[in-house]
Structure 1
Amino acid sequence: MPGKFVIAKDVEPQVGDFGTLFWLSTPPNTGAKQLTVIDVNLGPGQGHNFHKHPDQEEVILVIAGRVEQWIDREKRMLGPGDCAFIPADVVHASFNTSGEPVKLAAILGPCVGPAGYELVDVASDAPWKTLRQ
């Protein structure tokens, strides 16, 4: 396949406890091998708690709103146009601490597993479980 157009209105949302995801490019829907791309929407007070991707690098690009972004134990507030690069196996988290919606683009590579994405949740492990208190 030479490529594929992904039309936003045709992508089914996945609503989770930390926000709404739109899987724009994954091995099953585009045949991607190197990049998984996710449109992430965090409502006020929502966030993606501390986790890591053992075999994937990630770039998180802020499209709209402001996000409390963690890379390991370092925290920064990021706004539109800002991004974070997270090396493979590094713990990170994203939280919307504002009263406004946040829109992010998450780009991970290479694709891992059948869905192109792997995640290890560490939010209940020390020191991550107490870092934001």
Structure 2
Amino acid sequence: MRVRPDAVETMAFDWGSIKWFVTPSVVPGAGSTLGEVIVNPGRGHERHRHPAAEEVIYVISGEGTQTVDDGEPFPIREGDAVHIPAGAFHSTFNAGWRPLRLIVTYTPGGEERALESAPDLCVYGPGAVAAWRQDR
């Protein structure tokens, strides 16, 4: 099944945006989640964890800083992949001047639903262009 970017909604936050292309709730039979995450320059998301799913991050472009569990923050850049075990606390910060573009997967899928309760969430329907929000 092919999923096009203009066929899925965009979740926008103060720190960036996400398009989930494959999720168990949208793609019949999908056991994992895959999406593109854009972290705006000078922004990042709060430290959090996914108790029941591992996460893999692949950096498409940009530069950032990644923290996994209680480890030291480390740099990430284009071509890097990061594995985050289930239950490990983690955070991502864009340390560069351009957007940090990531492919993110959750296995098993479903953890993306936790973002639906984020206080800064703004959902744009399929085909709509999300406004870039540097500051509120």
TM-score, reference length from structure 1: 0.78
Structure 1 match to 2:101:
103
Structure 2 match to 1:126:
none
Structure 2 match to 1:117:
112
Aligned residue pairs total 114
RMSD: 1.7
Kept in 1, the 8 Å contact 2:23–2:31? The answer is: no
Amino acid at match of 1:54: P
Against the structure 1 CA distance between its residues 39 and 118, is the aligned structure 2 distance closer, same or farther, given a 3 Å change threshold?
same
Shift of 1:67: 1.3
Could you list the structure 1 runs, at least 4 aligned residues long, displaced by more than 6 angstroms after superposition.
none
**1:70-109 maps to which residues of 2 (within 5 A)?**
70-72=67-69, 73-109=71-107
Partner deviation per Cα, 1:93-114 (whole Å, 9 max, x = no partner) = 00002211110011010024xx
Structure 2 match to 1:29:
26
Amino acid at match of 1:68: T
Q: Give unpaired runs (5+ residues) of structure 1.
A: 121-133
Shift of 1:46: 1.5
Shift of 1:18: 2.0
Shift of 1:118: 5.7
Shift of 1:65: 0.3
Structure 2 match to 1:130:
none
Amino acid at match of 1:85: H
Give the one of 50, 55, 58 matched to 1:58.
55
- Quote the Cα distance in structure 1 between the aligned partners of 2:50 and 2:41: 25
Kept in 2, the 8 Å contact 1:53–1:88? The answer is: yes
- Quote the Cα distance in structure 2 between the aligned partners of 1:78 and 1:13: 24
Shift of 1:50: 0.4
- Quote the Cα distance in structure 1 between the aligned partners of 2:38 and 2:57: 12
Q: Give unpaired runs (5+ residues) of structure 2.
A: 116-136
Identity percentage of aligned residues: 33
Deviates more, 1:82-91 or 1:40-49: 40-49
Structure 1 position 6 matched with structure 2 position 3: yes
